[in-house]
Amino acid sequence: MNSRYIEFSKIGDTGKTEIWDVLSKSSGYILGEIRWYGPWRQYCFSPVANSVFNNTCMSDIQNFI
């Protein structure tokens, strides 16, 4: 997926699902993680503490999921 501000990096898998880091393109910092959340039976985004996202970034994350 092509995004202006963030990139997605696969960091592993559990055998059935994948785990992705969400990174800032400008700094390379990890902004959060996308992984399967079993109780909801879907992929979810878990941001790191004190991270801030605009509507474009949130839309990119939603589209990636």
Tens-of-pLDDT digits for all 65 residues of the chain? 889 999 999 999 999 999 999 999 999 999 999 999 999 999 999 999 999 999 999 999 999 99
Rg (CA), the chain: 12
**Considering the domain boundaries, does residue 22 fall inside one?**
yes
**Considering the domain boundaries, does residue 10 fall inside one?**
yes
What pLDDT was estimated at residue 13?
93
Domain extent for 17: 6-64
User: How many CB atoms lie under 10 A from the CB of residue 14?
Assistant: 9
Number of domains in the chain: 1
What pLDDT was estimated at residue 2?
85
**Considering the domain boundaries, does residue 1 fall inside one?**
no
Q: Helices (H) and strands (E) in the chain — how many of each?
A: 1, 4
